[in-house]
Amino acid sequence: MKLTAIHSPFTTFCEGREDIEAGFKLFLLFHERNFWHRIPSRKDSDVLVVSSGVGYFQHSLKKWGYSNVFGVDSDDKKVKYAQRKGYDSECVDCFKFLEGVDNKYNLIFAEQELNHLTRDECLLFLRLCHKALKIDGKLIINAGNCANPIISTEYLGNNIDHYTSFTENSMKQYFSLTPFGASIEIFPHDLYVLKRNPLNYIAKGATTAIHLLLRVLFTIYGKNNRIFTKRLGVVATK
């Protein structure tokens, strides 16, 4: 299908680094902190990585002992990079790929943020993922968190292919319109994973204080959002 986003498409992982190789170490730390305890425990699980890019999440899964991992991405150069690293990847539009898949995967992990899709495309993607998962299979997705008033406007305006905004509340609404239903785990992303950099501890302490203040302010205004990190993640089970 022809997606609305064409300059920074959802079908390819665009959160790259100039030093690609350094990214493998950094994203391994990020993945360990945020996703390790949320993925299926069986090492022979069938895993699909959507918008797999150069293979960052595939690299993490390999480090953790997972062997049945397949990545799809629409950027041929990134796919070839991943293949040279030894990761099983294919250059294909993820929507077209998912249309032909039924009850195959224990885990589908989307590297790219859902903000690159329109509302209708988001719903279609979630429904295709539900169809492609085995019973009790998991979908993990990421999105920029627009509940944080400090970054929400900048987040949407900073990328010309960001079309949709999300908070924990709107995310539940999206899933309620799919076979997954609204019973999902929504969790904050911890971005401060470099222990060797003392500034990470300072930044983490400062943001924690800001988030506590935002909770108080939101409660005063009658709002029930509780997650104010830059990004949020979702785990949905079929």
Identify the CATH number of the domain in which residue 114 sits.
3.40.50.150
Q: Using CA atoms, how far apart are residues 208 and 202, in angstroms rounded to an integer? A: 10
Tokens describing residue 219:
């409660």
Asked if the structure places residue 205 within a domain, the reply is no
pLDDT value for 15: 74
Structural domain including 99 reads 20-191+229-237
Tokens describing residue 175:
């899933």
pLDDT value for 219: 94
Asked if the structure places residue 210 within a domain, the reply is no
Is residue 167 within 8 A of residue 174, CB to CB? The reply is: no
pLDDT value for 182: 87
Is residue 85 within 8 A of residue 137, CB to CB? The reply is: no
Asked if the structure places residue 78 within a domain, the reply is yes
pLDDT value for 77: 95
Taking the chain (238 residues) in consecutive chunks of 10 residues, what is each chunk's mean pLDDT? 87 82 93 97 97 97 97 96 97 95 98 95 98 98 94 88 94 97 95 81 91 94 93 97
Residue 178, phi then psi, degrees to nearest 5: -125, 170
Asked if the structure places residue 136 within a domain, the reply is yes
Asked if the structure places residue 164 within a domain, the reply is yes
Domain count within the chain: 1
Asked if the structure places residue 114 within a domain, the reply is yes
pLDDT value for 16: 65
**Residue 126 CB neighbour total at 10 angstroms:** 23
Q: Using CA atoms, how far apart are residues 13 and 16, in angstroms rounded to an integer? A: 7
Q: 3-class DSSP state for residue 90?
A: strand
Asked if the structure places residue 127 within a domain, the reply is yes
Asked if the structure places residue 198 within a domain, the reply is no
